[in-house]
Amino acid sequence: MLAVKNLSHDYEGKGNYAVRNVSFSIPEGTIFGFLGPSGAGKSTVQNILIGLLPLQQGEVTYTGKSIRDQDAKFFNQLGVSFEHPNVYGRLTGYENLKYFAGLFDVPTLDPLKLLEAVNLTEAAHRKASAYSKGMRQRLVFARSLINNPKMLFLDEPTSGLDPNTAAIIKEIILQKKKDGCTIFLTTHSMATADDLCDTVAFLNEGKMVAMDSPRNLKLAYGERSVRVEYGDNGRVLEQVFFLDKAEDHRLFTDLVQSQRIQTIHTQEATLEQIFMRLTGRGLA
């Protein structure tokens, strides 16, 4: 289990905290979604968790052992998929994976099988510099799995991927979870977070503003609403009614009685709407 307690980080040491008093824990075999707009402090937290930034204040423990006490072997348990696809352009996809496989002290997965899993078999022996951004993104994702990690950090793993490929990646992530892997997922994609995460945390201006399962967040912060399409003098109009508001409730009832309704859908609040309600800003 990964536990983070009162984590704060100040890059310049002048009291301008990039993250402040962030606490959460991720049980083994679960997926934790970290959501927030650019500059919210997501990367700072992730970089501290994977050892790229020193731990200044607070505590981070992996199965009870502080990150301060971890040695190089700690990285044998870690897989990191970076948002920007950082691969050796002059090496082929296969060579990239083979090289990184050689860096770990633990048994590693077959590079060709991993490439096959992310639909890169045909490009396995082409130089990575000739890959599209989406292909490189998949290669970086495959690389994060090469050492069969117990703790996986995924930064925007489906960014720039077509829906079919994104679905494949999501399927692999869920399979890793089933295998007992603990996953820390950073994403802007609410749909991805909704699909994958057991727990999501909202980070805004360096502070956690909410943390729970997507369903509980929707129940706690969402508003019951219906989206209605209705006819009006030959035109089709669309309107959303929030049923907990008296005025919306009255208008909706009037519309039902007028028998002009063509379609009607119930709606639940999206994670993005909840984030906006909590912070007054969007996730983009």
Alpha helices in 41-132 (DSSP H): 42-49, 93-101, 111-117
Of 95-103, 158-166, 232-240, 253-261, the segment contacting other proteins by CB under 8 A is: 95-103
Assess 13 for contact with other proteins (CB under 8 A).
Answer: no
CB of 98 to other proteins, least distance (A): 8
DSSP element (H, E) containing 153: strand 151-155
Kindly identify the residues of this chain, within the stretch 96-125, that bind other proteins according to CB under 8 A. 98-105
Q: Which residues contact 219 (CB under 8 A, 6 or more apart)?
A: none
Local structure of 79: helix, strand or coil: strand
Assess 167 for contact with other proteins (CB under 8 A).
Answer: no
- Find out whether 162 and 117 touch, Cβ atoms under 8 Å: no
Assess 87 for contact with other proteins (CB under 8 A).
Answer: yes
CB of 96 to other proteins, least distance (A): 9
Q: How many helices (H) and strands (E) does the chain have?
A: 9, 13
Window 142-161: contact mask with other proteins (x via CB under 8 A): -x------------------
CB of 78 to other proteins, least distance (A): 6
* Residue number with CB closer to other proteins (76 or 119): 76
- Find out whether 203 and 45 touch, Cβ atoms under 8 Å: yes
Alpha helices in the chain (DSSP H): 42-49, 93-101, 111-117, 133-144, 163-178, 190-196, 214-221, 246-258, 271-279
Out of 18, 50, 211, 274, which residue is the one contacting other proteins (CB under 8 A)?
A: 50
* Residue number with CB closer to other proteins (75 or 252): 75
* Residue number with CB closer to other proteins (20 or 98): 98
* Residue number with CB closer to other proteins (109 or 255): 109
Local structure of 240: helix, strand or coil: strand
Assess 258 for contact with other proteins (CB under 8 A).
Answer: no
Q: How far apart are CA 284 and CA 281, in angstroms?
A: 9
Interface positions with other proteins (CB under 8 A) = 50-52, 72-73, 75-76, 78, 80, 82, 84, 86-91, 95, 98-105, 140, 143
